[in-house]
Amino acid sequence: ELKVEQNPLFLSMQEGKNYTIYCNYSTTSDRLYWYRQDPGKSLESLFVLLSNGAVKQEGRLMASLDTKARLSTLHITAAVHDLSATYFCAVDPANTGNQFYFGTGTSLTVIP
Amino acid sequence: ETGVTQSPTHLIKTRGQQVTLRCSSQSGHNTVSWYQQALGQGPQFIFQYYREEENGRGNFPPRFSGLQFPNYSSELNVNALELDDSALYLCASSQSPNREQYFGPGTRLTVT
C-alpha cells in the first residue's frame, strides 16, 4: 500500500524561528507537490518539484526533493503568524491512474 | 482567467439520499479529478475524468460515480449516502493527466 507520511503532524512554533516539515513516501515518484490549506478552505499550491534535487523557494518557505531517499522537506525560515495553516505534500506516482496521494498533513501554528 | 468553481458550497443530506456535486474546470483544462477530504485528514482520490472518460479511480465504492461534459465541467454523484460520506469534496482541474492540479473551493457535504 502506498503511504505518504508527514512529520510532525502538529507544530507550534514562535515567530522568528526556523523549522522543517518532512514528507516521506513509499513509492517511486519523480514529482511532489506542496499545498497549503487554511481552515475550511481549499488547497493552495505552493511548490511543484519535478526532479531529484529540485529546490524551490518562495518567501519564507523552501522545498526540496530527494527522490532516491523518497523524501521532501518544507523549510520555514523566520516564521510569521500568517504562515499558520495546514501543509500537505502529495506525490504523483507513475502507473497509478494519475492519482495524487496526499500526506497526513502538518498543522502549523505560529505564535506571536 | 476563471479558476475552478464548485457548487453548491454547502449541502446537508439525509442518510440514504442521493447527491450531485458540480465542478467547472479552469479555462484550458481538460482533466478533472475529485477528492474526498474528511475532517482532519488529507484528501483521498475518488476518480479522474479526461476528455469525458474515467481515467483512474481510487478505492471508493460504485455508489460514487461521475460524469464529464464536452465543456470539461464535471459532476460527482453519490448514491445511498452514509454518515461517513460527510466531508469536504474537492474538485481539481489540470491541462492534462499528470499535470499540476488546481483545486476549487470545495463543497462541504453533511449527511445526517
**pLDDT tens, N- to C-terminus, chain B (112 residues):** 579 999 999 999 999 999 999 999 999 999 999 999 999 899 999 999 999 999 989 999 999 999 999 999 999 999 999 999 999 999 999 998 878 889 999 999 999 9
Closest CA to B92 of B27, B11, B8, B23: B23
The torsion of the CA quartet B43, B29, A93, A39, rounded to 10 degrees, works out to: -20
CB contact under 8 A, B33 and A100: yes
Can you give the pLDDT at residue B71? 93
Cell matching residue B53: 472518460
- The 10s digit of each residue's pLDDT in A6-53 is 999 999 999 999 999 999 999 887 789 999 999 888 899 999 998 888
CB contact under 8 A, A101 and B45: yes
Supply angle C-alpha B65, B108, A31, rounded to 5.
Answer: 70
Task: Collect all residues of chain A within an 8 Å Cβ-Cβ radius of residue B101.
Answer: 33, 100
- Region A85-100: mean pLDDT is 82
B27, exposed or middle or buried, with CB in 10 Å at 0-12, 13-18, 19+? exposed
- Label residue A95 by pLDDT band (50, 70, 90): low
Can you give the pLDDT at residue A53? 87
Best residue of B37, B53, B91, B94 to probe chain A, by most A CBs closer than 10 Å? B37
Can you give the pLDDT at residue A96? 61
- Label residue A5 by pLDDT band (50, 70, 90): very high
CA separation for the pair B58, B99 (Å, rounded): 18
